[in-house]
Amino acid sequence: MFGKVLGAATGALIGFFLGGPGWAIALGAIGAGAGHLLFDRSEIPKSEVPPSRDDLLGEEPPPQPKKRPAMPEPPRRRLPKAQATQEEALLTSALCPLLIGVARADSDVTQSEIRVIREFFEHDLAFSEAGMETVRVALKDALAHPLKDFAEHVKSIRAQVKPGHRLAVVNACYEVALVDGDLKKTEQDALKEIVAHFNLSDEQLREITRLQIGDGARYYVVLGLDERATDDELRGAYRKLATEYHPDRAATLTPLEAESMTERFRAINEAWQELKKLRGL
């Protein structure tokens, strides 16, 4: 409305000066229309603006997503390592020094003996991966700190080694002792110590020995004995037969008899050597 009044007044004033009252009325009307167009229509009340589609639907325009600052990645949590079972830990501390002691009985410990020991824990006792790690650490410690008293250690671990495991342990000790070939006297003594303190019978020991190196039955027959013979009886039988069938005594015999005596002497020596291995003599 203000635009219309201002335009009419301005037009009338210009018309009056230009041509008098008639011009004032004409130019006043023109000024009123121009003022209305220029000023009044630009001030349309907000309520008269046509509603948008969002207004009609009662919806607000979707907000623009705000750009969130990048969050630092949370630190990765390390999963705790699996632990060896209590039984694995007890068997490891008991048996690693024992088996290393057997390996040391004849000479320095070899890699082949360590391999046999690890396979015993992994396959025979079915240790877990965590259990095998305790074995590795215990073997390293046993190599660095040899047993001062082998027999005392065997006695101290008897309660930790269940009866169901004892035969397997003795069998593993035999395998360690035999890795480098013949069963030495020192190794045989260590095995006897274990058998005695594990409360295994002589028959159980003979059975394990048969499994590992045979029963020697045919060799006892060659010497005229059986497996119940003592070590002294075995030595005496060998010396007697070796003297009786020595090749030096074949000089007066026929070639066929000499050949037979030589073959007999060879069999006697073979039996003696094999039975020495069997008994650790």
Task: Output the pTM of the full model.
Answer: 0.55
Q: In order of start, what are the domains of the chain with their CATH numbers?
A: 2-44 (no CATH), 86-213 (1.10.3680.10), 217-279 (1.10.287.110)
Percent of the chain with pLDDT over 70: 68
Q: Could you read off the pLDDT of 72-97 as tens digits, one per residue?
A: 666 666 656 678 899 999 999 999 99
**Which tens digit of pLDDT belongs to each residue from 13-63?**
665 555 556 655 655 566 556 555 555 555 445 455 555 545 544 555 666
Amino acid at 48: E
Inter-residue contact 179 to 99 (CB < 8 Å): no
Which range among 2-6, 41-45, 183-187 has the greatest average pLDDT? 183-187
Instruction: Express each pLDDT in 126-170 by its tens digit.
Output: 999 999 999 999 999 999 999 999 989 999 998 888 888 888 999
Residue 121: predicted pLDDT: 94
Of 224, 233, 209, which is closest to residue 268 (Cα–Cα)?
Answer: 224
Closest CA to 11 of 33, 37, 38, 42: 33
Q: Is the pLDDT of residue 234 over 60?
A: yes
Name 73's Cβ contacts closer than 8 Å, sequence gap at least 6.
Answer: none
Return the SS3 of 45: coil
Per-residue pLDDT band for 8 (boundaries 50, 70, 90) equals low
The C-alpha atoms of residue 27 and residue 235 are separated, in whole angstroms, by 156
